[in-house]
Amino acid sequence: MSGGVDSTITAYLLKEAGYEVIGATMHIRHPRKDLHPHTPGDMYGCCGVSSVEDAGRIAQQLGIPFYILDLREPFEREVISYFCEEYLKARTPNPCILCNEKVKFGALLTKARELEAAFISTGHYARVEYEPARGRYLLKRGKDAKKDQSYVLFSLSQDQLSHALFPLGCSRKEDVRKKALDLGLRVHEKPESQEICFVPGADYRSFLRSRATRGIEAGDIVDSQGRILGRHEGLPFYTIGQRKGLGLSAGKPLYVVGFDRERNLVVVGEKRDVCGSELIADRVNWIAIEELHHPIKVKAKIRSTHREADAVVTPSSDGAVEVEFAQPQEAITPGQAVVFYEGDVVMGGGWIDRAIRGRETS
């Protein structure tokens, strides 16, 4: 329970359905508080002190037990450290996906079993269904297309999905808020958390500087011919497709198209140079099938907010896949996830290792 409207109504619906419900909030406060002496409270957004207090009050209103579970160590190891390391490798991470896999349906599921709970339930807008013909648990899109969160759940295993309940999978956000209002729960108007919960003030640059002992050095910004156009503050502070904040005067818009880590260079180009039709993804997790043996046609998303696109996924001998899009995609970004859909079903997904432009890689 995050103290927000989604997890609140999730708990209510489960209790109404006859489940024995235990409310739990993850204590994931940054253990190195000395690095952020000016952070108000202990966290922002869904992890803040006020949200924990809200969750406790809601649990009391619903008449369910409430626990605050200490998951600081796994959160630090699996999410925060990953977040920093990816940026230091000039990759753009998605910590929410790792949090779902490693913490909410990892460490928290372990705690739940200790409490003899059979399921973990969250306020995600997604669906899980068991399909006997395949003998597999399927992850499906939430019915509310504007709120669908299946993308950030793609890395869950069959075991994790078998212990997952998503009561809001068939709901619309406006109906969830109305239900909270009808129940007299003040969280019905509570705004959604949009920022990374462990980054104070959404200032990820300061956060990285406070933790990094290496890998952040100023360098040159160059074009594809190697001509120096300006200076950058450190590779971790830039991402593929970025246009603003480059400090360049070239007479035309320029975008980050790649990085040269060995020479500490940010490479820029024009809008067309940001687009690519192919990518390589590794650490692939298949949900609807056990393994991919031949090319398949899918709809693929390269970011949670990106419009899905027609693509062909081809397996390689090392477990990675090559994804070829029917039309060029803008800002294929190493470190982000690519998720494959067949209708409403999440076939699987993986982590973007590199984009292929022509036969050049970046």
Active site residues: 99, 197
| Cα–Cα dist 43/288, whole Å | 36
- Tell me which residue of 245, 194, 184, 248 sits closest to 221, measured CA to CA: 248
- In 11-40, which positions are buried (b, 16+ CB within 10 angstroms) versus exposed (e)? bbbbeeeebebbbbbbbbbbeeeeebeebe
What DSSP element (H or E) covers 116? none
Quickly list H helices, the chain.
Answer: 5-16, 49-62, 72-75, 81-88, 95-98, 108-114, 158-162, 173-182, 204-211, 271-274
By the 8 A CB rule, do 292 and 317 touch?
A: no
CA–CA separation, 148 vs 314, rounded Å? 26
List all residues 6 or more positions away from 87 whose beta carbon is below 8 Å from its beta carbon: 93, 204, 208, 236
Q: Interior CA angle at 283 toward 278 and 285, to 5°?
A: 95
Q: Which two tokens stand for residue 287?
A: 């949900």
Q: Give the closest residue to 235 by CA, choosing from 96, 335, 150, 357.
A: 335
**CA 178 to centroid of chain Cα atoms:** 27
Identity of the amino acid at 198: F
CA gap 53, 244 in Å, rounded: 38
Of 96, 116, 118, nearest in space to 164 by CA: 118
